[in-house]
Structure 1
């Protein structure tokens, strides 16, 4: 390592945000989650401490690793890059600097007495088959377990007209179906639209049996991302029946959350919602759309595939006490197995909670669930 290379860990609120954001904006592997806005919202909404591992060559920033320290009242504390989303790993000028950033993150876990370091990164594209004539750098989906989580990415053409023409007739008819059913979609960038989104999102999370993020979380995201956060709302008359959030960064747009009200799904609000968001970011000049995480061959995977999204590896690496935690070596695997068996029961109980109570207690739990 060069003697002029300096690696250090800094509290996020003490690191120059402008310097950080300039580096992220200029890095080809950066995602919208890498923006300082994600760390800022996490601190403001949930009071988790943000960290930046940085590398400087002389006085020039040449690598960053954003981290969030999550300390639940009960259980194991962790450093995650990044919580509440799919990825946010190290950005660096080269692999050597990237490795040094992770080494420093391991040292930070010891300093802060944190047991788990979780690095979430994106990987290569996956093939839909094992044909030897395909790109050898792409792993075959056939070789992966059915439970594998993948990141679904779609390249966007030059404008929304070309995008619409690229869709199969069935998909185009489903988009038109929503409009024929009397639904309309609106795009918003103002803060007030967060509450319209949350009205739909919170109901859907309760239906799924999952603790909901706080309203403040989304308000802080909007305040931090500003015009780089779009909110799509689908209405039947004046009632919001579908809603989604898109974050923008570089040439990439991502959709971390989208929800519809189940009783209106026969009207296809999800089709109109996604088309509205996709067509808008396409016309803005964004060249890639991140549909988010899905399990191979499950419903959301197939839904995203029809829009042209292709699967990419998600590489989530966990270190416990500084050592790589390989699959099958987790000392808590028996506890995880019990939790998976109890999950259907817990979800069923959660669905029966009054919405107001679920919205009150949900965020108190959700803030410590880093997925």
Structure 2
């Protein structure tokens, strides 16, 4: 018999949850229980983490977080601020039980919609798909020379150029530098930034699973990326560069050095994350030689008449994006967190 239970957040159960996530093939870094703490502590969102039991054993998990905003709507999402989500389970029966429970919960909460960020599509008849993103990943070769040789020719030339520049890098826990660079980078793109505390909490909650690689030019940080580690994977997650990074090729240097560093530390897979199909970031990742794999984000509409469109490509956001790009950096850092908490 499959029993679906709501996770109550005690330490013993969290350890059991995470132990299951570690060994379940369908689970990802973003299924770890720490994301519940991040969402509740940093953003004040309500978590509805569900798990399935058979006897005393966990046989499936479904992290869900409720977001409610007058501007962006009311949603139940697996999982905000994460590229992957949905059910991780032992088999299809467990998956269906958890999805049924999620749909029932979405109806009970009277949300606009339920969103499951699946890597693999579900066959649940009440879920509809909106496939607008792809993710990029590849195995890390045995040494720096082999990693570089595996990169497409044009991108390889860019990396070789960066290796001749006066660039150095370090790997540490400096989330402050990562945030400062990232916040300026996303302001320049017209995107509200997360609160500084978010980066701090990611490092505190995930500990050894999280670090920062920062590239310096003549002693000054110019590019930085906050990374996650899970099983055999390294996942560069929040990266950016100052305006001079383009000329210095320091972002290219940064991602290449992260691959080399991760391989040296025993990791074998590089997950470059998601990008909106045919966007600039999508094309950039393809230039490295990685092939896109479609993500299968699936929805159950509850009160909403149609699927949400919070994409920056939505024409109604273009004026806002252009105005945001002109804000002083300190203003964008002050105002961004009030909006970004609903845009994860």
| Residue 345 of structure 1: aligned partner | 319
Pick the aligned partner of 1:30 from 27, 31, 34. 27
2:2 corresponding residue in structure 1: 5
SS in 1 for 2:81: coil
Partner of 1:330: 306
Cα deviation digits, residues 11-39 of structure 1 (max 9, x gap)? 44688110000000001122221222222
Q: Are 1:309 and 2:290 an aligned pair?
A: yes
CA distance in 2, matches of 1:77, 1:235: 42
Q: Deviation at 1:181?
A: 2.2
Q: Is the contact made by 1:11 and 1:49 (CA closer than 8 Å) also made in structure 2?
A: no
Aligned length: 336
What is the distance in 1 between the residues matched to 2:307 and 2:86? 25
**Aligned twin of 1:39:** 36
- Provide closer, same or farther for how the CA distance between residues 236 and 16 of structure 1 changes in structure 2, counting only shifts above 3 A: same
Cα pair 2:113 2:299 within 8 Å, conserved: yes
**Cα 1:113/1:27, change in 2 over 3 Å:** same
Separation in structure 2 between the aligned mates of residue 176 and residue 114 of structure 1, nearest angstrom: 50
- Determine if the alignment matches structure 1 residue 211 to structure 2 residue 185: no
**Which residue, 184, 204, 210 being the options, matches 2:168?**
184
Cα distance change of structure 1 residues 295 and 338 upon mapping to structure 2, 3 Å threshold: closer
Cα deviation code 1:277-327 (max 9, x no counterpart): 1112222232322211223344322321233322111111111229xx8xx
2:110 matched residue in structure 1: 113
Question: Which residue of the other structure, out of 263, 278, 287, is the alignment partner of 2:268?
Answer: 287
Structure 2, unpaired ranges of 5+: 122-129
| 2:100 equivalent among 66, 78, 103 | 103
Q: Establish whether residue 233 from structure 1 lines up as the match of residue 209 from structure 2.
A: no
Distance 1:358 1:338, change over 3 A: closer
How large is the RMSD of aligned CA atoms in angstroms? 2.5
Match of 1:129 in 2: none
Matched with 2:81 is 84
Q: Which of the numbers 351, 361, 364 marks the counterpart of 2:335?
A: 361
CA–CA distance in structure 2, aligned partners of residues 176 and 186 of structure 1: 19
**C-alpha contact 2:154 2:287 (8 A) present in aligned 1:** no
TM-score (norm 1): 0.83
1:259 aligns with 2:243: no
Which range moved further: 147-156 or 17-26?
Answer: 147-156
The Cα shift of 1:88 comes to 1.3
- CA gap of 1:158–1:338, structure 2 versus 1, over 3 A, is closer
CA distance in 1, matches of 2:273, 2:245: 23
Counterpart contact for 2:5–2:52, Cα < 8 Å: yes
Matched, 1:199 2:180: yes
| Alpha carbons 1:160, 1:283 under 8 Å: kept | no
SS at match of 2:64: strand
Aligned partners of 1:341, 1:83: CA distance in 2, in Å?
A: 23
Tell which deviates more after alignment, 61-70 or 164-173.
Answer: 164-173
Unaligned 5+ segments in structure 1 are 125-144
Gap change, CA 1:276 and 1:22, over 3 Å in 2: same
CA distance in 2: counterparts of 1:345 and 1:317, whole angstroms: 29
- Tell whether the 8 Å contact from 2:187 to 2:193 is kept in structure 1 after alignment: yes
TM-score with structure 2 length normalisation?
Answer: 0.90
What is aligned with 2:125?
none
